[in-house]
């Protein structure tokens, strides 16, 4: 009887509310993402084996679903990585990735244009370093196993013409647990702008203008997806190295989209208005702008444009806005 009365009392609901708040605030405030245009729905999917070749660590790449998806593994023997079969001048690139759970300090998963990222992250990257070793471009989405917390951190970066010493990193906390399900990580790159998306929500836009034109990526790039150990580089000089007692670290990859210009940049402009250089991709929609403001206002915790300790003189695009 006393328990029944207690459950119906205001005090019980206050205590219950405090417990719930404590649980959800362990990772910080929980925000509901806004509705946005689903850019991933505008491009066709391809299989992992159709779009990519093995870059390294083939014994740690496990193909699934007839090659439409894959697991990329990092263990003591090796990391692993894929590289796109084609090089692209401009394009839209997406991979749905589920990240390793548990203690992942020093682990990097990357989706990028570039192959000289020193990381144990999942890296989705675009790069042309192999073709232009001293003058290459790069566009990166890097997912970092954080050194002190169990959260993963999203980092974006880009540079052109080999300007590796001028980092243009921005970092975000994610608004979901990336180890529980796959989430879309995307890059759209054309002559107008580059923007990075997570589950179709833009988190960063880089407009191609006079201030950034000299380092704006402009040469054809391959797309890479990698997982590897970058303890010495990614965790304060090895302070929080990869702990292989928690290995293997598995990043699951699917829902691959690789669509762009493979002949020349002018090939994009000759296509229909719905192409990557067409009216629909010149600027963000109002929904996308709202999503961008939400992501940056709620989740961004580092921008190179605010790092005056690193840059005595900020890069020109930081002061031209």
Positions marked catalytic: 138, 142
Buried-exposed string 288-321: b where 16+ CB fall within 10 A, e elsewhere: bebbbebbbeebbeeebeeeeeeeeeebebbeee
Q: Which helix (H) or strand (E) holds 113?
A: strand 107-113
Torsion angles phi and psi, residue 27, rounded to 5: -100, 10
Buried-exposed string 97-132: b where 16+ CB fall within 10 A, e elsewhere: bbbbeeebbbbbbbbbbbbebebbbbbbbbbbbeee
d(CA 30, CA 3): 31
Judge contact between 220 and 268, C-beta under 8 A. no
Q: Which of 222, 188, 190 is nearest to 208 (CA)?
A: 190
Distances (CA, A) of 82 to 97, 187, 222, 226, 262: 14, 17, 10, 6, 18
d(CA 7, CA 25): 24
The dihedral formed by the CA atoms of 272, 292, 105 and 141, expressed in degrees to the nearest 10: 20
Handedness of CA 252, 292, 172, 126 (dihedral sign): positive
Judge contact between 215 and 307, C-beta under 8 A. no
């Amino acid at each position: 009887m006393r328990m029944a009365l207690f459950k119906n009392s205001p005090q019980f609901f206050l205590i219950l509310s405090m417990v719930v708040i404590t649980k959800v605030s362990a990772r910080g405030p929980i925000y509901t993402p806004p509705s946005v245009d689903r850019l991933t729905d505008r491009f066709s999917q391809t299989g992992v084996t159709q779009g990519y070749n093995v870059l390294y660590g083939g014994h740690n790449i496990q193909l699934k679903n007839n090659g439409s998806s894959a697991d990329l593994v990092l263990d003591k023997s090796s990391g692993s990585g894929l590289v796109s079969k084609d090089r692209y001048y401009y394009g839209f690139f997406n991979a749905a990735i589920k990240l390793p759970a548990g203690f992942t300090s020093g682990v990097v998963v990357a989706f990028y244009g570039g192959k000289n990222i020193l990381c144990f992250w999942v890296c989705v990257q675009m790069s042309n370093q192999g073709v232009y070793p001293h003058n290459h471009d790069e566009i990166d989405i890097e997912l970092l196993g954080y050194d002190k917390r169990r959260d993963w951190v999203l980092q974006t970066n880009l540079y052109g013409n080999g300007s590796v010493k001028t980092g243009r990193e921005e970092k975000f906390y994610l608004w979901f647990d990336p180890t529980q399900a796959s989430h879309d990580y995307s890059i759209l790159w054309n002559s107008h702008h580059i923007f990075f998306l997570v589950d179709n929500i833009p988190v960063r836009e880089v407009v191609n203008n006079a201030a950034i034109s000299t380092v704006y990526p402009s040469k054809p790039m391959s797309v890479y997806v990698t997982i590897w150990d970058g303890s010495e580089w990614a965790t304060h000089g090895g302070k929080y190295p990869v702990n292989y007692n928690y290995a293997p670290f598995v990043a699951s990859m699917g829902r691959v989209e690789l669509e762009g210009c493979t002949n020349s940049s002018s090939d994009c402009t000759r296509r229909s208005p719905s192409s990557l250089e067409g009216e629909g991709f010149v600027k963000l929609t109002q929904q996308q702008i709202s999503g961008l403001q939400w992501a940056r206002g709620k989740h961004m915790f580092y921008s190179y444009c605010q790092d005056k300790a690193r840059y005595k003189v900020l890069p020109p695009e930081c002061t031209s806005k």
